[in-house]
């Protein structure tokens, strides 16, 4: 069995036709053009007889049914075991609808074609594998980000973009939770020292571009800058961290430029890296209980400070969920290792406190939580956020899991990381 470390990377355009509805807000928008293309970006790693694939989809979310179909098709074409094919959605708010959220219309013909394009991306990456070495770097982005929930003396938490909706007579006690400024960076160089792929991880909502055109948002800007610096052949691949309650404070171009500068500054100082990297992956199915659909959330809706017309959206969401009669989801937790670095993904928008818990309690010296992987269940809130209310703590198809369900997913992720560390 060869210990040679091989890496290949590729991407496939998945931009829908102009005119397709854009997701990312309570009210659908119609796309009128393309700021930058949406893609599947894939990297395939091989070491010690183990192959691992990671795919980033420039989509707001992707459900398990489509994802499972894509993984099965990819495995049949490449021979990579389904357990070792990992994926996540970038959460761009200027991409198409992939699930029936907030009344948006889905381009079904486009959606049905995604598994084939997913498989094409991984197959192309698999075919392009060549000897490589890995370099790990870490930077910080302390600018342009904030926790988007503020706490008040009466126990409520209100989202920052809704503060102007009403007069507040209760004193603000600051941010409800911290941010995570760490930028995780993995660079895979070929034998000439030229990057094949750059994986980078950051915890920030991908909603800086709210325009009417398709866009990968700030990860697309980062990709462009990294290609300018390291060559058109490199495939930069975003790993979305715990960003559910973390928002940008600048345009997507400014955020992307800042992050790209951090990554470039670190990689410009890199030394030849390691070969023979240990790889591994695990997946686990869990049953996740939903939030209590029998409760009256009228007070929560009004306290959230959405406008009355927007409040009606959440009343309708609760009604639709009650009629559907579903009270739990069977979903997937993913975990994988690349050398001394552990990754774990959960199928929803992970609050920053959960992400920091995973980083703190993982046995790996370096761990990066990845959200929106393998499925989509909505906001993964903390007990504090659930008690305090706010947008993410309303009950909707975009906010299904109970706090107990989220804790179960986090515990499962930590268990998988522990098992990978021991292998």
Closest Cα to residue 162, out of 332, 423, 392?
392
Largest Cα separation within the chain, whole Å, is: 69
Q: What is the DSSP string of 3-53?
A: ---EEEEEEEE-PPPTTPEE-SSSS-EE--EESS--EEEEEEEEETTEEEE
pLDDT for 273 equals: 85
Q: Are 77 and 43 in contact (CB under 8 A)?
A: no
Rounded to an integer, what distance in angstroms lies between the CA atom of residue 390 and that of residue 304?
Answer: 5
Closest Cα to residue 301, out of 26, 18, 38?
26
* pTM score, whole prediction: 0.97
Closest Cα to residue 259, out of 210, 225, 215, 230?
225
| Run of H or E including 256 | helix 252-267
| Run of H or E including 369 | strand 366-371
Please return the burial class of 109, using the count of CB atoms within 10 Å of its CB with bins 0-12, 13-18 and 19+. Answer: exposed
Domain ranges of the chain: 6-145+177-287+327-422
Rounded to an integer, what distance in angstroms lies between the CA atom of residue 5 and that of residue 275?
Answer: 5
Closest Cα to residue 123, out of 10, 5, 251?
10
Using DSSP's 3-state secondary structure scheme, residue 351 falls into coil
Rounded to an integer, what distance in angstroms lies between the CA atom of residue 86 and that of residue 43?
Answer: 10
Pairing of strands 235-240, 195-202: parallel
pLDDT for 168 equals: 66
- Give rounded-to-5 percent helix, strand, coil for the chain: 30, 30, 35
pLDDT for 241 equals: 98
pLDDT for 193 equals: 95
Tens of pLDDT, residue by residue, the chain (423 residues): 467 999 999 999 999 999 999 999 998 899 999 999 999 999 999 999 999 999 999 999 999 999 999 999 999 999 999 999 999 999 999 999 999 888 789 999 999 999 999 999 999 999 999 999 999 999 999 999 999 999 999 999 999 999 876 556 889 999 999 999 999 999 999 999 999 999 999 999 999 998 999 999 999 999 999 999 999 999 999 999 999 999 999 999 999 999 999 999 999 999 988 778 999 999 999 999 999 999 889 999 999 999 999 999 999 999 999 999 999 999 999 999 999 999 999 999 999 999 999 999 999 999 999 999 999 999 999 999 999 999 999 999 999 999 999 999 999 999 999 999 999
**First vs last C-alpha separation in the chain:** 17
Residues near 230 by Cβ (< 8 Å), separated by ≥ 6? 194, 195, 198, 267
Rounded to an integer, what distance in angstroms lies between the CA atom of residue 137 and that of residue 139?
Answer: 7
Rounded to an integer, what distance in angstroms lies between the CA atom of residue 274 and that of residue 266?
Answer: 17
Q: Are 177 and 216 in contact (CB under 8 A)?
A: no
Q: What is the DSSP string of 181-226?
A: -EEEEEEEE-TTS-EEEEEEEE---S-S--SSEE---HHHHHHHHH
Rounded to an integer, what distance in angstroms lies between the CA atom of residue 161 and that of residue 96?
Answer: 23
């Amino acid at each position: 069995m060869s210990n040679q470390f091989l890496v290949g990377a590729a991407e496939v355009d998945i931009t829908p036709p102009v005119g397709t509805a854009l997701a990312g807000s309570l009210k659908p928008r119609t796309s009128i053009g393309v700021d930058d293309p949406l893609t599947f970006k894939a990297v395939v790693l091989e070491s010690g007889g183990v192959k691992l694939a990671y795919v980033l989809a420039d989509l707001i979310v992707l459900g398990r049914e489509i994802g499972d179909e894509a993984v099965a098709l990819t495995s049949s074409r490449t021979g990579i075991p389904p357990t070792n094919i990992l994926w996540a959605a970038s959460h761009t708010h200027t991409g198409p609808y992939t699930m029936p959220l907030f009344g948006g219309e889905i381009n079904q013909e486009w959606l049905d074609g995604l598994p084939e394009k997913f498989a094409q991306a991984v197959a192309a990456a698999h075919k392009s594998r060549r000897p490589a070495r890995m370099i790990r770097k870490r930077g910080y982005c302390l600018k342009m980000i904030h926790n988007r929930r503020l706490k008040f003396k009466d126990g409520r938490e209100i989202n920052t973009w809704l503060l102007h909706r009403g007069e507040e007579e209760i004193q603000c006690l600051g941010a409800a939770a911290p941010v995570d400024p760490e930028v995780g960076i993995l660079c895979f160089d070929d034998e000439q020292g030229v990057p094949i792929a750059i994986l980078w991880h950051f915890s920030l909502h991908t909603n800086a571009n709210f325009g009417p055109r398709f866009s990968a948002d700030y990860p697309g800007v980062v990709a462009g800058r990294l290609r300018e610096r390291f060559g058109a052949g490199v495939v930069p691949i975003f790993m979305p961290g715990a960003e559910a309650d973390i928002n940008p404070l600048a345009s997507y171009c400014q955020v992307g430029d800042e992050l790209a500068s951090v990554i470039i500054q670190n990689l410009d100082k890199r030394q030849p890296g390691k070969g023979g990297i240990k790889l591994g992956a695990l997946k686990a199915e869990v049953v996740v209980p939903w939030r209590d659909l029998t409760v009256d959330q009228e007070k929560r809706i009004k306290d959230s400070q959405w406008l009355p017309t927007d409040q009606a959206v959440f009343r309708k969401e609760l009604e639709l969920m009650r009629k559907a009669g579903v009270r739990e989801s069977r979903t997937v937790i993913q975990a994988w290792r690349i050398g001394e670095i552990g990754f774990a993904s959960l199928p929803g928008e992970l609050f920053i406190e959960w992400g920091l818990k995973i980083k703190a309690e993982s046995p790996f010296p370096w761990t990066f939580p990845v959200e929106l992987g393998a499925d989509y269940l909505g906001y993964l809130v903390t007990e504090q956020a659930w008690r305090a209310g706010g947008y993410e703590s309303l009950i909707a198809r975009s906010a299904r899991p109970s706090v107990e369900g989220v804790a179960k997913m986090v515990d499962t992720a930590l268990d998988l990381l522990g098992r990978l560390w021991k292998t």
